[in-house]
Chains A and B, each alone.
Chain A
């Protein structure tokens, strides 16, 4: 495969074939983003089911087994179906335009890595209709729950995870090849915008971590069907080893979902503060350090398994260490805004809200990272509150912010600012009503993954559920805002809808042409648009 094969372009095909045969990075980005949105709605619907059951104590709507299927599938769909594809979709749209490339390096691979996704999702969701129901062992699928005691549909789940892993690995290889080879020849690595940097580092996390996930589900598969005993104690295996291998993937995975979000925020805050990003190079180094540390802290998810004290201490200190580069990032974002001329358009509101709420999630993460304290918090709603603060008000917030920030450039039309602000405040208030009380529930001892609870938890659960329904509804408005912008938005009156925005993507005409940079941008242009002052 080489780039010369794609020399001649004829513009997009018409109709459905345009999407099936898509090799253009923008078409594939669009596919990824709509797919992610569809999965967000599916995963969100499952979450509504969970919160409806938890509205009152007692069992009202479903039996515990079905409730377990809901929590499991909600987690899997949101992680692998919504957040990750949305980030890859943004990468497809933005990276070639940010590094001055005509397209992604490997367009056909790109097509393939998208088109396995809908089938993987279909296989995963179809398990609901199989005998024995969908996987019900939690999204972490701990053995032996997922091996000896799992429903037959687990083999379909394993196959779906393999496909999703393939998709992510191919996507990551494509991004690495694009950034390292298709970059404008005049662009040095340290001229690259932060979204590109964070995605490059994320890609290395992906090719390192996703194969380990593939390995662990393959072991599950052979344990279940071919008589091996990796996780079966009766055959000399060890279920605790499952947790080690799973979290060796699982911890880098959480940074796979958050690092691109860091990149997005590093673009939006400078634009609406009208100042260059503070501490560009320290941002790059901080991202790389977080990525490195993410590989050596996995067992902080396993304090309750009875590890030796020395191991608990090591994993605790290593975990605390991650707060340092993350703190550098938060400091840099705040310093970027310091004495800036701030305005509060919708993308800026989302970015600011990210800064506050992600930091809350980060702090609760530090609390959980303290081994002796975690024995108390382990598997309670405090954990649920923590990872929803970093994933919903972290990753998802950044995805929404990025959509509103770059959509006017992509389609050359402006979204409805008033509606976007209403949507922001609606989501911002409801998400806190939804997740903040879960901290209290967890500290009071309510375990996660249960369909029924003791009476003293009733009030906070009721509040949380009401917040959940309001938050769920807010996505209808978001879908309307996006569709309304694409169809009826007023044309933007400049190539830079945000006058203060910097970056090579803004030098292209609006809407962005089908092929981005036919000739690479010059050194002067790159420096003019770079993030460092």
Chain B
């Protein structure tokens, strides 16, 4: 026999108890946008920034940073892809233009997009792009070779100790 003096389980108690796991399930999904914001703020995961128009920075011509360019394609993406120059010496605060070359090796139309990543992590935040092919999807006609332009700046606020920055693009296929 259950003693009458014991507390009854109220409806409110139930709702509270069951809503915790349900909320936590959705919290797992909420971590996706939270993580994106976190990456944008901290540059974590090599997330690069974007600037809307050219502006003047304080320049220190003595300070040189070497930027190396890398490229890779996802397995099964039939495009030859690589930087036009392998590295550049840049002055933080100045805008530079370089480009990547990509060639469709098939006789079909191929659509893809490149995603950038900057290392080291604490440089990613100050690596800003004014113009980048990675902002858009790229369409290749059969056997077409494209020269894709990138205009970027390294902001002078970046840690002085960083002398080398690498930028890599990974090209992947989009379903057209």
Give A residues with C-beta under 8 Å from B: 1-4, 6-7, 101-102, 105, 169, 173, 176-177, 180-182, 185, 207-212, 214-216, 218-219, 230, 233-236, 238, 240-241, 244-245, 248-249, 306-309, 311, 518-520
Distance in angstroms between the alpha carbons of A3 and B7 in the assembled complex: 10
Q: Which of A3, A210, A211, A233 is close to B8, meaning CB atoms less than 8 Å apart?
A: A3
| A233 x B170 contact (CB < 8 A) | yes
Report yes or no: B31 in contact with A244, Cβ–Cβ below 8 A: yes
A232 nearest in chain B by CB position: B172
Residue in A101, A207, A248, A519 whose CB lies within 8 Å of B31: A248
Indicate if the CB atoms of A215 and B26 lie closer than 8 Å. yes
Interface residue from A6, A173, A235, A241 paired with B2 (Cβ < 8 Å): A6
Q: Do the beta carbons of B5 and A185 come within 8 Å of each other? A: yes
User: What is the CB-to-nearest-CB distance from B101 to chain A, in angstroms, rounded to a whole number?
Assistant: 21
Residues of B close to A207: CB separation below 8 A: 17, 20-21, 24
Once the chains are docked, how many angstroms separate the CA of A331 from the CA of B93?
Answer: 57
User: What is the CA–CA distance of A180 and B17 in the complex, to the nearest angstrom?
Assistant: 11
Q: Is B74 in contact with A234, judged by CB distance below 8 angstroms?
A: yes
Beta-carbon contact of B20 and A215 below 8 Å? no
Query: What are the interface flags for B128-148 relative to A under an 8 Å C-beta threshold, 1 for contact and 0 otherwise?
Result: 000000000000000000000
Task: Let me know if A308 and B28 touch, CB within 8 A.
Answer: no
A-B contacts besides A234-B170, A308-B122, 7 pairs, CB < 8 Å: A173-B17, A181-B9, A211-B21, A214-B25, A215-B28, A238-B45, A241-B31
A-B pairs, 7 with minimum CB distance = A215-B28, A234-B172, A211-B24, A211-B25, A211-B21, A212-B28, A181-B7
Chain B nearest CB, measured from A423 CB (Å): 39
Do B44 and A307 touch across chains, with their CB atoms under 8 A apart? yes
Q: Return the contact of A520 from the options B6, B8, B23, B45 (Cβ within 8 A).
A: B6
Partner among A6, A185, A210 whose Cβ is within 8 Å of the Cβ of B6: A185
Given contacts A169-B21, A177-B9, A181-B7, contact A4 B28 (CB under 8 A): no
Given contacts A230-B32, A236-B115, A307-B44, contact A2 B9 (CB under 8 A): yes
The answer to whether B35 touches A181 (Cβ under 8 A) is: no
Task: Give the distance to chain A from B175, nearest Cβ to Cβ, in Å.
Answer: 9
Instruction: State how many angstroms separate the Cβ of A169 from the closest Cβ of chain B.
Output: 5
* Min C-beta distance of B104 to chain A, whole Å: 18
Residue pairs across A and B with CB atoms within 8 Å: the count is 112
Given contacts A177-B9, A215-B28, A520-B3, contact A308 B121 (CB under 8 A): yes
Q: Return chain A residues, CB-CB under 8 Å to B29.
A: 215, 219
Interface positions of B from 24 to 46, Cβ below 8 Å from A? 24-29, 31-32, 35, 39, 42-45
Contact A173 B18 (CB under 8 A): yes
Q: Which of B6, B28, B31, B74 is A214 in contact with, Cβ under 8 Å?
A: B28
When chains A and B are docked, how far (Å) is the Cα of A214 from the Cα of B2? Answer: 36
Q: A105 to chain B: which residues have CB within 8 Å?
A: 9
Q: Complex formed: what's the CA distance from A177 to B12 in Å?
A: 12
Chain B residues near A6 (CB-CB < 8 A): 2
- Distance, CA A333 to CA B156, complexed state (A): 56
A208–B20 contact, CB under 8 A? yes
Q: Which residue of chain B has the shortest Cβ distance to A519 in the bound complex?
A: B3
B24 touches A209 (CB 8 A): yes
> Are the CB atoms of A520 and B21 closer together than 8 Å?
no
Residues of B within 8 A of A182 (CB): 6-7
Residues of chain B in range 98-151 having any CB-CB distance to chain A below 8 Å: 115, 119, 121-122
